[in-house]
Amino acid sequence: MPGFIAKNRKPLFILLLFVFLFWLLTLQVKNGRFTVLERPVLAVSGFFERIITWPFKTVVAIGSHYVFLVNTEQENKQLKEDNDRLRLDNAVMNEILLENDRLRDALAFKRLHPPSSIMAQVIGKDSSPLSSTFTINKGENDGVRKDMAVITSEGVVGKVQTALANTAKVMLLTDPGSTLAVRVMRNREEGLLEGKLVNCALKYVSFYADIQEGDLLITSGLDGIYPKGLAVARVTSVSKHEASAFQAVAAVPSVRLSRVEEVLVLLP
């Protein structure tokens, strides 16, 4: 027993001190009022009370904070899901509005130009570095035939290369196999527009012909495929070489071919 007391002297002293102070506190309470020992007794007892209750309060505080964080994380996750869903809905709605605008322009163009036409959608594009074509969702069953002109409200796109039962392949202006009879709208100079994959080149233009950058090239109607007067391309550069009887003229299509989604196939 003496060995136990010697070993635990400090804890036993603190415990006895706490019991002694508690006993003094009970003696000093008279009619609900404290005596002169009120302050030291309460200070010491309060110190021990804080030591005893601190772990419990800490656990409660940590638990409350954890619950708050979990709830906040769930709310943030729900808000993110709602935001993503709204973004998707907005993107779909914008795409529908853009498609309606394109179709409205195509219909307006169709009413202004008497030739009969078939409206079609682009359903596939050729990624070959040696050709420029895409596939539309109309074919022979819809009246589409080889060499029919394909246009948009902005100008010429190309012509039908092959037609199957329900689809057709369209050769674009930029395809190396594409040739198109055109003329300069400003002065009626004529030439043959050939595809160069990225852009086009105006061939067989006389060395002395008046061709300028920015000139608009339109269909001449001499090739028997495209009606006269449709926008085709705009001249981007002109160069002359004394060793050649022709000018070197580069042009870019009037239609942004990479962005075409709907077209009109002109019936003969």
Q: State yes or no: pLDDT of 63 exceeds 90.
A: no
Q: What is the C-alpha to C-alpha distance for residues 195 and 178, in angstroms, rounded to an integer? A: 5
Q: What is the C-alpha to C-alpha distance for residues 197 and 85, in angstroms, rounded to an integer? A: 40
Span 137-161, mean pLDDT?
Answer: 95
Q: State yes or no: pLDDT of 177 exceeds 80.
A: yes
Q: Which domains does the chain have, with CATH numbers?
A: 1-112 (no CATH), 117-172 (2.40.10.340), 179-258 (2.40.10.350)
- The pLDDT value given to residue 249: 96
- The pLDDT value given to residue 103: 61
Give this prediction's pTM: 0.60
Span 219-232, mean pLDDT?
Answer: 92
Greatest extent of the chain over all pairs of C-alpha atoms, in Å: 127
Closest to 124 in 3D by CA, of 155, 179, 164: 164
Model confidence band, residue 171 (pLDDT cutoffs 50, 70, 90): very high
What contacts 123, CB < 8 A, 6 or more positions away? 135, 136, 137, 167
Show the tokens assigned to 36: 């002169």
- Does residue 149 sit in helix, strand or coil? strand
- The pLDDT value given to residue 114: 47
More confident residue, 233 or 86: 233
Could you report the per-residue pLDDT of 28-61, keeping only the tens digit for each?
Answer: 554 445 444 555 555 555 555 555 555 656 655 6
